[in-house]
């Protein structure tokens, strides 16, 4: 006879890695709301609320703005498979691991793909992007806004306008930026954007907010071939999340509840205040990390406040350090990806976790762990530096 597993009771963790982050208590409470049918009139109103608030958070009036019923990578795939047909010219400018993921996803569409890369931790200048567009003349330019692997922020504020000069569409990965740092789709003339629910929006993983501009919708409608994915075909999904509310798939009701509450929290706080909170806590964490001898990967001029990627000190074992943080303090941070595997730690203070208690807790724990691994760290130096930054 099969032994029935016991009731779930995992050891609590403080999730300060690259994601997921801890969900806000109000989000978890919203998820206990009784289920409705996915075509129930009440649920349709909840969908309307969610779309309206998502447009506000994305700073857009795009009609086609909704959460894909899947995690963030499905958002990336949704944008590519709907905008690209076999033979279309696509350029992806990569600045890290998720840029290479874009390359992989785009390549599967049968497009004519051009890849431009910067050393990990760097970003593209506007002049570099202009030269790339001049020579490649793509239908779509793919860029990661917030590169989670390196902690670098790619400025895209003028890139959409630049793309339109060359009759190209701008597709951006906003997975680690939405809800943490400014994202202004309309002002920046972004044509397609996708994000996730488990970082800046303080929800569990499971939804990928996407938004397509009228230009992008026109490109979708002008397709000569079917979208290669039935499930992610926006020409069909638009009928469910649009005015018709025609059945397409059974929406993840509880996750829509969660996202709705997460968006309410963002708007209650206010976007400017929320962005300022992330910067304030980043500056305190930065002061503490530098005080204990940790060096950032990305230059300060284009560094993400919500995702702090630092080099592991020489002689320190990546896995051993993260294991001690987890087992002794219940704190999760991320290791490096790609060329930074074993060489970097990634500390996320996103959404609900962008709080002083999280900053001070991880600094105190890191001090202890580093000393235990043979690194000379003055006791209390990281926490003291962070406290000084908070008092400034």
pLDDT for 1 equals 78
Which listed CATH number (3.20.20.140, 3.50.50.60, 3.40.50.300, 3.90.1150.10) goes with 271-391? 3.90.1150.10
Cα-based torsion angle of the residue sequence 256, 258, 264, 270 in order, rounded to the nearest 10 degrees? -120
User: What's the CATH number for 25-268?
Assistant: 3.40.640.10
Q: Which of 315, 311, 335 is nearest to 323 (CA)?
A: 335
pLDDT at 246: 84
pLDDT of res. 61 = 98
> What pLDDT is recorded for position 244?
78
Helix ranges restricted to H, the chain: 25-30, 41-58, 72-83, 97-107, 126-136, 159-165, 185-188, 214-221, 234-241, 253-269, 271-291, 318-329, 356-372, 381-391
Q: What residue spans define the domains of the chain?
A: 25-268, 271-391
Same fold yes or no, 25-268 and 271-391: no
- φ, ψ at 210 (rounded to 5°): -125, 155
Average pLDDT of adjacent 10-residue blocks, the chain of 392 residues? 92 97 98 96 96 98 97 97 98 97 97 97 98 98 98 98 98 98 98 98 98 98 96 91 84 97 98 98 98 96 98 96 98 96 98 98 98 94 98 90
Q: Identify any residues that bridge with 113 across adjacent strands, giving them in sequence order.
A: 90
- Which residue from 105, 73, 66, 63 is spatially nearest to 215, judged by alpha carbons? 63
The pLDDT value recorded for residue 136 is 98
Q: What is the pLDDT of residue 172?
A: 98
């Amino acid at each position: 006879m099969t032994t029935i597993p016991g009731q779930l009771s995992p050891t609590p963790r403080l999730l300060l890695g690259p994601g997921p982050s801890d969900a806000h208590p109000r989000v978890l409470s919203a998820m206990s709301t009784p289920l409705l049918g996915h075509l129930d009139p009440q649920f349709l109103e909840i969908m309307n609320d969610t779309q309206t608030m998502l447009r506000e958070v994305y700073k857009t009036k795009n009609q086609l703005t909704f959460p894909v019923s899947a995690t963030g990578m499905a958002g990336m795939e949704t944008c590519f498979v709907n905008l690209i047909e076999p033979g279309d010219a696509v350029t992806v400018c990569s600045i890290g691991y998720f840029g290479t993921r874009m390359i992989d996803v785009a390549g599967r569409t049968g497009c004519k793909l051009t890849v431009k890369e910067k050393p990990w931790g760097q970003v593209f200048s506007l002049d570099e992007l202009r030269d790339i567009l001049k020579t490649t003349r793509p239908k779509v330019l793919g860029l990661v806004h917030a590169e989670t692997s390196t902690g670098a922020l790619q400025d895209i504020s003028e890139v959409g306008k630049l793309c339109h000069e060359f009759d190209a569409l701008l597709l951006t990965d906003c997975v680690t930026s939405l809800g943490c740092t400014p994202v202004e789709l309309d002002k920046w003339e972004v044509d397609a954007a996708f994000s996730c629910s488990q970082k800046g929006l303080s929800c569990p993983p499971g939804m990928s907010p996407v938004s397509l501009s009228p230009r992008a919708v026109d490109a979708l409608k002008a397709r000569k071939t079917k979208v290669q994915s039935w499930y992610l075909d926006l020409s069909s999904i638009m009928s469910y999340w649009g005015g018709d509310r025609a059945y397409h798939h059974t929406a993840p009701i509880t996750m829509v509840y969660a996202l709705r509450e997460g968006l309410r929290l963002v708007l209650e706080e206010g976007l400017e205040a929320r962005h300022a909170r992330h910067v304030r806590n980043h500056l305190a964490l930065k002061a503490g990390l530098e005080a204990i001898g940790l060096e950032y990967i990305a230059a300060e001029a284009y560094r993400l406040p919500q995702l702090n990627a630092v080099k592991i000190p020489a002689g320190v074992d990546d896995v051993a350090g993260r294991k001690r943080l987890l087992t002794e303090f219940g704190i999760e941070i991320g290791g490096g990806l790609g060329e930074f595997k074993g060489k970097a730690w990634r500390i996320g203070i996103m959404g609900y976790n962008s709080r002083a208690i999280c900053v001070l807790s991880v600094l105190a724990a890191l001090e202890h762990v580093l000393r235990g691994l043979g690194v000379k760290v003055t006791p209390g130096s990281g926490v003291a530096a962070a406290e000084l930054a908070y008092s400034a």
